[in-house]
Amino acid sequence: MSRKLEEFEPIEDEKVCMYTCGPSIYQLPHLGNYRTFLFEDILQRYLEYLGYNVERVLNITDVEDKAIAEAEKKGTPLKKMTERNAKTFLKELKLLSAKTPDYLPRSSTSVEQAVYLIEELLKMGYAYWHRGNVYYDPLKFKGFGKLYRLDMTRWPKVKRRFHKDTYPGNRWNLGDFILWHGFKQGDKVYWDTELGKGRPAWNIQDPAMATQHLGFKADIACGGIDNIIRHHDYIIAVVEAVSGEEFARYWLHGAHLYVDGKKMSKSIGNIIYPKDLIDRGCNWQSIRFFLINGHYGERLNFTFDKFKKACDRLRKFQRMVNSLRTTKTITKESNPRTKELIAKLKKDFEENMNNDLHVKDTFDALFDTASKLVSFKKKGKLNKEDAEEAATTMRNIDQVLQVIF
């Protein structure tokens, strides 16, 4: 929240609560979406490597304007469409060696909590009814837009309301945002609740899914870079209005994945799905490596040439590590220099990961040290015990990276 790097301090010792924005499953997640989910997986795994007990929510949006429109367009029931996409998403997460989060709530399973939050916001004066819908008035919340650093002097003097769940583009909707879609004649998707018939809007769904499982405070909140526009500040406004406390201190956002220098877009036709690469003979481990091998906050550009080079580099590294594991030593003596190099593997890994999860710097350092160890082996200066220690160190590191073995 301070917009600078800070040393991580959890609310409770040895425990970390993580809230991570998941996919909207009106369509299948593409390669760029998975880049975000994988940096979040790296974060969780590294915190666990450090000894923390991580409790994580990854929410799944299965009821929203776009999903309802897509189901009608395809002439298929909403639940059938979203269930199919959710199943594929969870399967692909596993194939990419991502941990399954503790909680995978869906919009459709958190309606009761959404209604509770809306009722509280209505009582407290942050929300109001208008023509059968419920809206949130951001001017009632002190510090609205604080994550984005929104300039509130731009706020219009005339009351404006935004009725859709989401709006395209990286721009702010300067006005009141919708929390509840009241029932309208012909609606096929709705619940009968304390608020009457209707459905929760996207802007209340994520706060509902987060608070239902983690309560009103999280240590870390994550998502894609697009979430900084509107979405995460909406979550803050809802949750903190009800609780009166800070929702999260640490915010991490994954930057975009571009393709050939351009943002992925249906109109351009350059969206890539994991299956597209698998069909070309690639494997899931290589896809994971390409997507994590950078800094999560920096834009990553996909080209097939870059992808091939990354795959080649990973395979070379794997061969080096395998060579160390299967070494037949000439010497029985332990070389002090090899001991230093083995210690350096762990030291470089932790230093680079502690520096805001710099995975590429981490991998480059590991590659360099592994090369030197292989050189020592070829010269007969690596004994069996040291080789086994190097392999054990790599296995521990790979509990986080999931690309070495």
pLDDT digits (tens, 9 = 90+) for 222-273: 999 999 999 999 999 999 999 999 999 999 999 999 999 999 887 788 999 9
Domain ranges of the chain: 15-259, 307-405
Domain 15-259 architecture: 3-Layer(aba) Sandwich (3.40)
Dihedrals φ, ψ of 146, to 5°? Answer: -70, -25
Tens digit of each residue's pLDDT (9 = 90 or more) over 191-222? 999 999 999 999 999 999 999 999 999 999 99
Band (383; pLDDT cuts 50, 70, 90): confident
Strand partners, 56: 18
pTM of the model: 0.96
Long-range CB contact pairs, 348-352, < 8 A, 24+? 349/397
DSSP 99: P
Q: What is the pLDDT of residue 73?
A: 95
> Do 371 and 320 meet the contact criterion of CB atoms below 8 Å apart?
yes
DSSP 68: H
DSSP 103: B
